[in-house]
């Protein structure tokens, strides 16, 4: 074991042995040295490691201080060796202390990794991926419901609580989150957040990430507001004219929502194969796109067929309403389209007043309505012309309606002919509003007898 003065220049001149290893000990600090191993196959230089020898309670201990790549400075390596020797003289065991520190650091790193994997943000990402792919459930979440779930959880939940471990999400945290949403003037949104959050946390319980759902038993923070908005006949006339004016794609899309009474995304994501041959006047919505997971048949009235026939066929198997060049993406931009529709309706109202020579000052904007209000308008309108409630429920594809209990179990009759008659009667009523006959004879709407 050669002894030499380990200076920076001397260390750089030391050569690795052809085989095995050699240890050079420092003449300035006994017990401090450099071990050089022979190069491995394919390598030009051997491994160089600083080390220190000292006694702990009478026993010799070898401590590896670090490689020369980690500690290139000789003075720093000598300083570390001198510190270890001093601690050993005081009765400490530097090697065991380092092992304990490394173990603690490893455990802390593992805990941080586990914490990062189980933050609420990470759990939300896993939940959404599971919902999108259907990996751990019977089927993927409906695209429209998935989109709303994702938007709500990421905007309102992840942003506020995402960095917390899911195990630390308690009732107080949930209540504080909901109270903040209510305070910003969105009590209805707080209700939606609670609904989606409960579903998320139930999933976390099923995945053994939580022992129990902290949102269970928490009441809706905002009052349940049942919308009752229905367009009257004058508004339907104005609405239809505005739809014609804004044109493709939202004009005909809004018109068909009113005529068919179906859900927004069911129509917006309809494909030409679902419509099949338009001569049959039947639209088949597959179960994976319906709220109750059952295939739904929608009869298309002559007016609906007229609208569909006029649409551009972007792709043979593409979406009926698409903003993509190939028809491979469903229509988007609902909010902007709704604003355009509302503005256009007001403009048309002003034009009507101007043509009638009436004062346009103080013309009120059209009372706000949503796409779902068109569905409610169709349902209310069908009821007004005599369509029975259970038929309206069938047309809207409600899971339950006026027929309930045991009767609902045994009554599997789908009322297809009656549904066809009802939708055609509703279409005739709408057509009588948008295309009034020039005579002074008013055609009464036909009552649907069932």
Over residues 275-279, mean pLDDT: 82
Going from the C-alpha of 387 to that of each of 234, 297, 299, 345, 418, the distances in angstroms are 21, 18, 15, 29, 9
Average pLDDT, the chain: 86
What DSSP line would sit under 12-79, residue for residue? HHPPPPSSSEEEEEESSSTTEEEEEEPPPTT-SS--EEEEEEEEETTEEEEEEEEETTT---HHHHHH
Is residue 4 within 8 A of residue 24, CB to CB? The reply is yes
* Three-class DSSP category at 231: coil
Inform me whether the pLDDT recorded for 445 exceeds 50: no
The yes/no answer on whether domain 257-331+367-434 falls in CATH 1.10.8 is no
At 163-218, the pLDDT tens digits run: 899 988 999 999 999 999 999 988 989 999 999 999 999 999 998 889 999 999 99
- CA–CA gap between residue 450 and residue 358 (Å, rounded): 46
Position 410 scores a pLDDT of 39
Query: What is the phi-psi region of residue 449: left when phi exceeds 0, alpha when psi lies from -120 to 50, beta otherwise?
Result: beta
At 323-377, the pLDDT tens digits run: 777 778 888 888 899 999 999 998 998 888 888 777 666 556 678 888 889 999 9
Range list for CATH 3.30.160.390 in the chain: 3-105
Local structure of residue 411 (DSSP, 8 states) = -
Q: Which of 212-226, 230-244, 320-334, 401-415 has the highest mean pLDDT?
A: 230-244
Local structure of residue 298 (DSSP, 8 states) = E
Residue with tokens 């279409």: 427
Position 362 scores a pLDDT of 57
Cis upstream peptide for 332 (omega within 30°): no
At 49-91, the pLDDT tens digits run: 999 999 998 899 999 999 999 999 999 999 999 999 999 998 8
Q: Which of 110-124, 214-228, 367-381 has the highest mean pLDDT?
A: 367-381
- Residue 310: φ, ψ to 5°: -85, -5
Which class in CATH covers the domain with range 120-206? mainly alpha
Range list for CATH 1.10.443 in the chain: 257-331+367-434
Position 253 scores a pLDDT of 97
Range list for CATH 1.10.150.130 in the chain: 120-206
Lowest mean pLDDT among 185-199, 217-231, 435-449: 435-449
pLDDT band at 446 (very low <50, low <70, confident <90, very high): very low
Position 32 scores a pLDDT of 95
- CA–CA gap between residue 406 and residue 418 (Å, rounded): 23
Sign of the CA dihedral 295, 296, 297, 303?
A: negative
Position 112 scores a pLDDT of 64
Position 326 scores a pLDDT of 74
- From the number of C-beta atoms within 10 Å of its C-beta (0-12, 13-18, 19+), residue 207 rates as middle
Position 357 scores a pLDDT of 74
Position 341 scores a pLDDT of 93
Of the two residues 432 and 293, the one the predictor is more confident about is 432
pTM of the model: 0.59
Angle, helices 187-206 vs 143-152, to 10°: value is: 100
Inform me whether the pLDDT recorded for 443 exceeds 50: no
The yes/no answer on whether domain 3-105 falls in CATH 3.30.160.390 is yes
Going from the C-alpha of 438 to that of each of 54, 132, 442, 443, the distances in angstroms are 112, 53, 10, 11
């Amino acid at each position: 074991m050669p002894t030499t003065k380990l200076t920076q220049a001397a260390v750089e001149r030391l050569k690795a042995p052809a085989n095995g290893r050699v240890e050079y000990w420092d003449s300035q600090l006994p017990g401090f040295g450099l071990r050089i191993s022979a190069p491995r196959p394919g390598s030009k230089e051997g491994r160089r490691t600083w080390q220190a020898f000292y006694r702990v309670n009478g026993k010799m201990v070898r401590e590896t201080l670090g490689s020369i790549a980690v500690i290139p400075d000789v003075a720093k390596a000598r300083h570390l060796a001198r510190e270890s020797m001093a601690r050993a003289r005081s009765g400490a065991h530097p090697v065991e202390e380092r092992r304990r520190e490394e173990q603690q650091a490893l455990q802390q790193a593992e805990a941080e990794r586990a914490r990062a994997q189980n933050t609420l943000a990470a759990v939300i990402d896993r939940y959404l991926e599971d919902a999108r792919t259907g990996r751990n459930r019977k089927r993927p979440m409906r695209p429209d419901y998935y989109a709303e779930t994702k938007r709500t959880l990421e905007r309102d939940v992840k942003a506020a609580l995402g960095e917390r471990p899911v195990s630390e999400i308690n009732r107080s945290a949930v209540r504080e989150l909901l109270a903040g949403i209510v305070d910003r003037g969105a009590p209805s949104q707080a209700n939606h957040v609670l609904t989606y959050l409960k579903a998320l946390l139930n999933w976390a319980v099923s995945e053994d990430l939580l022992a129990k759902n902290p949102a269970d038993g928490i009441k809706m923070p905002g009052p349940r507001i049942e919308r009752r908005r229905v367009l009257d006949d004058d508004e339907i006339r104005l609405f239809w004219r505005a739809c014609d004016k804004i044109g493709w794609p939202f004009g005909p899309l809004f018109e068909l929502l009113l005529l068919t009474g179906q859900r927004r995304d069911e129509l917006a994501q309809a494909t030409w194969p679902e419509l099949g041959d338009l001569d049959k006047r039947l639209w088949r919505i597959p179960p994976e796109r319906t709220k109750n997971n059952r295939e739904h048949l929608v009869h298309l009235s002559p007016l609906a067929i007229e609208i569909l026939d006029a649409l551009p066929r972007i792709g043979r198997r593409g979406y009926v309403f698409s903003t993509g060049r190939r028809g491979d993406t469903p229509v988007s931009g609902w909010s902007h389209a709704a604003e355009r529709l509302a503005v256009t309706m007001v403009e048309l109202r002003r034009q009507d007043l101007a043509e009638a020579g009436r004062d346009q000052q103080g013309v009120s904007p059209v009372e706000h309505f949503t796409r779902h209000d068109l569905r409610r308008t169709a349902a209310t309108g069908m009821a007004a012309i005599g369509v029975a409630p259970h038929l309206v429920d069938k047309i809207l594809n409600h899971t339950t309606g006026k027929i309930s209990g045991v009767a609902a179990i045994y009554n599997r009759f789908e009322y297809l002919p009656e549904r066809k008659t009802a939708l055609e009667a509703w279409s005739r009523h709408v057509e009588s509003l948008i295309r009034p006959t020039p005579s002074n004879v008013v055609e009464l709407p036909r009552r649907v007898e069932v």
